[in-house]
Every structure is written in C-alpha cells, then in structure tokens.
Amino acid sequence: MNRPHTFINVAMTADGKIDTFERKGSAISSKRDKDRVDELRSLSDAILVGGNTLRGENPKLVVKSEARRAERIQRGLNPNPIKVGIITIADIPLKGDFMEAGESRKVIFTTSRTSNQTIDALRSHDVQVFVHDLPRVDLPLAMQTLKKIGVDHLMVEGGATLNFELLRLGLVDEIMIYIAPMIFGGANAPTLADGLGLPREHALEMKLTDVEKWDNGGVLLKYMVGRN
C-alpha cells in the first residue's frame, strides 16, 4: 500500500455532533477517553488535521503522558508524532500550540493559493511545506508523500470536511468513535463527516469490530471501513 494505514478517531455526542454550532472545540471526551486518545497518539507516526481545525482550534497534537513520550524516545522516535496540516491557504499563526507545543516535526500540505511569503515564513519556522498547484490539496498525493517520509501509521483528528473527503476517496482503514452521553443539537453543528455528502447507493460500508460500554454512559465503537 502506497499510503499509511490510516484511522479516524473522533469523540461525538449521542446525536452525532463533534462540536456545538459555535464551533469552538467544545469538550466531549471523558477523562478515560482523553487517556485513550493519548495512547493512540503515542502509537502513531503522525497526526493529521484539516484547515478549519488548524485555524479554529490551533491544536497541540502532542502526547501528554511523560511515560509515553519516554517510551517513544526509547524506540528511537521523537517524543511526539509528526504534526500534519492540510490547508488550502496556509494562513496559520506562527505562534501558538500547533507550531510551538511539544518537540515534533511539522508538515503542511497546501496549494499555490498560499502566498510565497507565507510559505517562506513557515519554512523559516522549520515546517516542511508541500505545495500542490491545484485549487485544493490532492489528498491521495499527500498520503503518498506521508508514506515516503516515513509515516506508516496515521491518526486523523478531523475536522468533519477532511474526514469526509478521506473517506470518500477510500483513504481510511479504520474509524474509532467515542460516543458521549450528551446532546448538542444544532442543524449547523459539525458531524463526524460533513462535506457534500453521498447518495444512498454510494454510502460507505463499514464493519463493526468492537464495542465497549463505559461506566460513565459512553460507548466506544471501532469499525473497519469498506470491509463487509
């Protein structure tokens, strides 16, 4: 396979929302789920997020556990996975958590709609920038590039548009979903996969591989994609 093994991890409410209509990165995960996510990060080569997540949340994308960081170092790795952003116009802040939190490589995939000045600024801050001469980032090509730079196990942390496009293009192997016992509602609140959507005859099929019922009322679901 000329791309990484890729899984989407998401926390969502019982009504399928991954944030409120305010889109400010509302907390959904429980303490136990946050620890589970930290373990997943520690076992991944890279963590991928889309442009809306980069701009709206400026995520850290680091391993919080000191013991897990130490274990990665013992395996000859950086303490944190590679931070990867896919963004059409890479006007992201050069100060903030994505750029500065933790010790890790940073990779940005963007398009020629990003100014040369912005690209140069990112590179001057030790960001590896790949520019696609297209209106939007070529996701299959980006995944091939990640494989070439040593990413074998890729964790995707959203957002909803990126999730949908990766799924639509057949670039996802697994989905892990923590369902929290809460309701956000809101017709415009983001879900696991937004984007343009698919007609019923083209719906993506999944195979349920595991279910865990947690004491707090939450549920953890694990699916393989397209393997019924």
Q: Is the bond preceding residue 85 a cis peptide, omega within 30 degrees? A: no
pLDDT computed for residue 228 by the predictor: 43
Left, alpha or beta for 66 (phi > 0: left; psi -120 to 50: alpha)? alpha
If pLDDT is split at 50, 70 and 90, which confidence band does 57 have? confident
Name the domain count of the chain. 1
> Positive or negative CA dihedral for 162, 104, 91, 21?
positive
CA distance 201 to 210: 26
175-187 pLDDT tens trace: 999 999 999 999 9
11-47 pLDDT tens trace: 999 999 999 999 888 899 999 999 999 999 999 999 9
User: What kind and span of H or E run contains 101?
Assistant: none
Mean pLDDT of 76-104: 94
Can you give the CATH number for the domain in which 213 is found? 3.40.430.10
77-89 pLDDT tens trace: 999 999 999 999 9
Domain around 154: 5-225
Question: What share of the chain has pLDDT > 70, as a percent?
Answer: 99
